[in-house]
Amino acid sequence: MKTFVFAIVLSFFSIISCAQDIYQIQELSSSNVQSDGKSFVYQDDVVSVSYDFWGDNGIAHMTIYNKSSNSIIVDWGFSHFVDDGLSRDYYNYITRVVATAAATTSKYLGQTSNTSHIVSSKKITAPKRYIHIPPKAFIGKQFEIGTLNAYYTCDYPFNISTLSDEGIQLDWNTSNKRFRNYITYYTDDLMKNKKIIDNDFYVGKVYSVKEEKFKKKEKRIVCDIDGIENAKDYTLWLIGQPNRIFIHRNVYSACAGCLLF
């Protein structure tokens, strides 16, 4: 009898242990924004706009850099994020004005970078419609890309049966996520010389991986301002890139199936 009860308990915990965290990686593509396979940078003769989509809950960042020798004015009231046709202007969203670009900690690999991210910024609690960018300076803007939905079909479910680095390719018509970033800016203080940026993006590739391929934790020795060494925990995003978004799912399946993966 005891042996029978023990077998039941053991089976119960074996089934629980079969729960897995899997992540669907969705790589973005664009028809009019240049990509090096890892990031997106749009350029015209006046500005450079770089995008970073990696993060939780559909939060993304863009950086607008004024390459010219003259000031420009960005009009957030006439600038919109268009999510599958639904438009919303940026006027009611908080803008982060970058103060410096000193070294920061990368959110991808725990590395130090002097170009990746905003380091010193202030939040403007009262929204400003017009943002002035001096020559050779830039601003950072956080924005939402809307609801993130997993891609799946009858032939391509989002579960452990489709774990693969290869995945499937999508185009604008078959993609599960399409959006545009529409920016209006002026190259003169009187705001008569208007320019438009209209960048489109869509999910062009989808694949799923297990947690050990997605992230890991490690301790690193870092020095504080007094030179004292301390151990600090880092989460390393093994496949984090500015041109990717991700969906997390906790999958439960029969123990026999789990033991195979």
Asked if the structure places residue 65 within a domain, the reply is yes
Cα 91 from Cα 75, distance rounded (Å) = 8
Asked if the structure places residue 17 within a domain, the reply is no
pLDDT in tens, the chain (261 residues): 555 555 555 555 555 557 789 999 999 999 999 998 889 999 999 999 999 999 767 889 999 999 999 999 999 999 999 998 999 999 865 444 333 333 333 454 444 333 444 444 455 456 689 999 999 999 999 898 888 889 999 989 888 888 887 889 999 999 999 999 999 999 998 999 999 999 999 999 999 999 889 988 888 898 989 889 998 888 888 889 999 999 998 887 655 444 444
Asked if the structure places residue 2 within a domain, the reply is no
Cα 229 from Cα 220, distance rounded (Å) = 10
Cα 252 from Cα 169, distance rounded (Å) = 27
pLDDT at position 162 is: 80
pLDDT at position 159 is: 85
Longest dimension (CA), the chain: 88
Overall pTM > 0.85: no
pLDDT at position 120 is: 45
pLDDT at position 55 is: 76
Asked if the structure places residue 76 within a domain, the reply is yes
Nearest residue to 131 (alpha-carbon basis) of 97, 103, 106? 97
Please count the structural domains in the chain.
Answer: 1
Asked if the structure places residue 75 within a domain, the reply is yes
Asked if the structure places residue 1 within a domain, the reply is no
- The range of the structural domain enclosing residue 239 comes to 22-258
pLDDT at position 20 is: 83
pLDDT at position 109 is: 45
Nearest residue to 215 (alpha-carbon basis) of 109, 117, 112, 113? 109
CB 26 within 8 A of CB 246: yes
> Quick one: how far is CA 251 from the chain centroid?
23
> CB count, 10 Å around CB of 201?
25
Asked if the structure places residue 206 within a domain, the reply is yes
Kindly report, residue by residue over 99-113, the tens digit of the pLDDT: 333 333 345 444 433
Asked if the structure places residue 138 within a domain, the reply is yes
